[in-house]
Each structure stands twice: as structure tokens, then as C-alpha cells.
Amino acid sequence: MADFYELLGVSRGASADEIKKAYRKRARELHPDANPDDAEAEAQFKEVARAYQVLSDDQQRQRYDQFGEAGVGGGSGGGQSGEDMFGGGLGDIFDAFFSGGGGARQRGPSGPPRGQDLEIVADLTLEQAVFGDQVSVDLKLPVRCDDCDGSGAGEGTKPVSCSDCGGSGQVQRVRQSLLGQMVTASPCGRCGGMGEVIATPCSACRGQGRVTVDKTYQVDVPAGVDTGSTLRLTGRGAAGPRRGGNGDLYVHLRVAPHERYERDGNDLVTDVGISIAQASLGTSLTLETLDGDEALVVPAGTQSGREFVLRQRGVPHLHGRGRGDLIARIRVDVPTKLTDDEVALLTSYAEGRGEVVGNGKEGLFSRIKSAFS
């Protein structure tokens, strides 16, 4: 027989946990159920089981390390029962093969399944996103049938326990394997895993225990949400069939663009247009914010692109305190049409500053146009 440590793929200094994990991995790979009609895999499986039997026992492992296989009897079975061999009985064997799934353990009744989770999109204005609001969402969804109170049974009748599964919703099958009997469970085919059957279905829901209706929910939207935020309404999704639990409703939020403000994280940015004269000489403006009018003083000599920050006038922090800022970005607007008096004034101003004007493309075109008029 090969070295026990090599069979499990561990070093001689491996801990008990490392040996157990290695054994479980090898047992899954070599188990006869995973390798039907493979005599070599079955033989290796027995060797791996023997190696684990020895190395999982401190005294046997010590004798094996000193004297080799002769120190632990040299046999392939050691004369021990299946429960002794695997330390924890058959339950530990199945834990090894099925990763704790309990292949030999009976599960509880399946019962009616939970209803589906549903999703819907709710549209918001920027103001609603900033300050929070309550919005309505309309959708179609299955709800519990009032006629049968969700049982699915017709008037004057009630569901009865399934005779095939005894009301558990599952049927068990026993089969023989190398290690003895193995029990598997699967949903009952007669009742579909419900544990009950209906002889006379409800005429309103046809035995489903639920009907589809139009529903309107009022959704509380917290301040500070943004496009992509999702609200979960527990238990507001589809009702499960025949009194199964309700799923959840997920409301995905979408914020519409604003005519004046652009959102940048928790800050709001707006462009403020002023004239050349206002930029040169300074001015005082009334700025419309989401909180009301604010006075904005623009000093003389302000350049286009300069930003003025109004603290705590932006979007509230969704998961914290405080708000972002409102950023007013100056845009100097150049007039595209001038009266003769305005042209004269600007020309005089430019000449006083020693600036050359009137030779741009627009000015040249205007002079050519005037020559032919």
C-alpha cells in the first residue's frame, strides 16, 4: 500500500484539520457514486479511507510514523466498524461527501415556495432627490386570493395532506452503496413539494391561492438619493402560491435632468451668465437655489469660469450628516448683436486701451456687406 500521507496528499507535519480536509476532498473524487463501475477508483477510495482511519487517530498516527503500516496492523480494514473508522459515524461520512449537505439527513417539509422578488423604476425630479419625498409606484403583481384566503381550495373544502409524502413535501429513496444504505430526498411529484393536494380548486385563483391585480404603493424616498439608488420594500413583492411568503419589491430610482442644476456627487453646479460690463465693473445678483433666493456678489474684474461656492446648499449626504455645496460658475456672455451707439462706445473704449478691433471675420464681413448695400 502507498504511504498514507501521500494517499491524502499532505505532509507528515500536517495538522488534524489539514488531514480531514484532504480526506474529504479525496473521498469526493473517488467515491463509488461519482465513479460508477470504476474498480480502480473504488480500490483507491478504500485505501484513502484506511489512511484517514489511521492518521485521524493520534495514537495510531504515532505508531504509523514509528513503524509504518506494520505498526497499525497492516490490514486494510483494521477490524473496525464503519462508525469507528470515520470517527463521527455515518453522518460524518456524508458530511465529507456532500460538504455538510446532510445527504442522509431528512429535511423538513418543503411547503409552499416564497413569492418572487419584483423590480420597478421610479422617476424623480431633482428636488425630490435632494429633499426626499413620497412617490407612488404602480405595478401588477400576484396577491393572496381573498375567495380562498390563499389556500387554493374551493368554497367548503380544504387542502388535504398528500398521501405520497405524508405531508412533508418530499419523498425519500433508499439505495445501497459501498458504505451501506444511502438516503436521498426530492420534492414529491404528486403535490409538487407543497405537502398538500387540492381536490376542488378555488374558481377565482384556480387552485394557486393567489391572483394578479393592479397595485399602488407609496414609497418613502429619503433625501440625497441619486440615479441608481435602490429601495427595498420587504414583503411587497409577489405572493407565494397557496399561502407562501411574499417576495420583496426593489424600487430603482431615476432622477431626471434639471434645467438649471447639474449634480456632481453631493454638489450642485449651475452656470450664471453675466454681461461684459457686469464682469468688468462688478454686480450683485439674485441666485435662485433649491432652498430659495440667495444674494450673489460678483466683484469687478470677474473672469468667465470663476466659481462661487455656497456652503451647505447642495445635496444631503444619504448615509451621513450635512449637505454638499452649491457652485455658481460664472459665464461671461458676449453680445452677438450691437446697436450703432454700442459699437461706438466699445470702439472708443478699445481705442482708449490701445486695442485693435473691427478686423475679425465678422467685422470684415460686415464692412463688405455695407459696401454693396
N-to-C CA span, the chain: 113
Owner of C-alpha cell 419523498: 171
pLDDT of 79: 39
What is the per-residue burial (b if ≥16 Cβ within 10 Å, else e) of 125-148? ebebbbbbbebebebebbebbeeb
Measure the CA–CA gap between 234 and 236, rounded to whole angstroms. Answer: 6
Tens digit of pLDDT for each residue in 316-372? 999 889 999 999 999 999 999 999 999 999 999 999 999 998 765 554 444 444 444
pLDDT in tens, 45-91: 888 888 888 888 888 888 888 777 777 765 444 434 333 444 343 33
Asked if residue 180 lies in contact with residue 90, where contact means CB atoms within 8 angstroms, the answer is: yes
- Check for a shared fold between 106-152+203-256 and 262-333: yes
Percent of the chain with pLDDT over 70: 83
Of the pLDDT bands very low, low, confident and very high (cuts 50, 70, 90), residue 147 is: very high
Categorize the per-residue pLDDT at 100 as very low, low, confident or very high, splitting at 50, 70 and 90: very low
Half-sphere exposure of 102 (CA within 13 A, CB side): 5
The predicted structure's pLDDT at residue 119: 95
Write down the domain spans for the chain. 4-98, 106-152+203-256, 160-197, 262-333, 340-371
What is 4-98's CATH number, 3.30.70.120, 3.40.50.1820, 1.20.1510.10, 1.10.287.110? 1.10.287.110
**Grid coordinates 453522518 are at which residue?**
91
Please give the pLDDT value at position 90: 37
Grid cell at residue 345: 462706445
Element holding 348 (H helix, E strand)? helix 340-352
Query: 262-333: which CATH topology?
Result: HSP40/DNAj peptide-binding domain (2.60.260)
Q: Do residues 219 and 231 make contact, with C-beta atoms less than 8 angstroms apart?
A: yes
Cα–Cα distance for residue pair 237/229, rounded to 1 Å: 18
CA distances from 83 to 79, 94, 181 (A): 12, 12, 14
pLDDT tens digit sequence for 180-215? 667 788 888 888 888 899 999 999 999 999 999 999
Kindly provide the residue ranges of all beta strands, DSSP E only, lying in the chain, ordered along the sequence: 118-124, 133-144, 160-161, 170-177, 180-187, 196-197, 210-221, 230-233, 249-255, 262-264, 267-275, 283-289, 292-298, 307-310, 326-333
Q: Which residue has the cell 470677474?
A: 302
Please identify, in words, the CATH class of the domain defined by 106-152+203-256.
mainly beta
The predicted model scores a pTM of 0.63
pLDDT of res. 88: 40
**Portion of the chain with pLDDT greater than 90, in percent:** 55
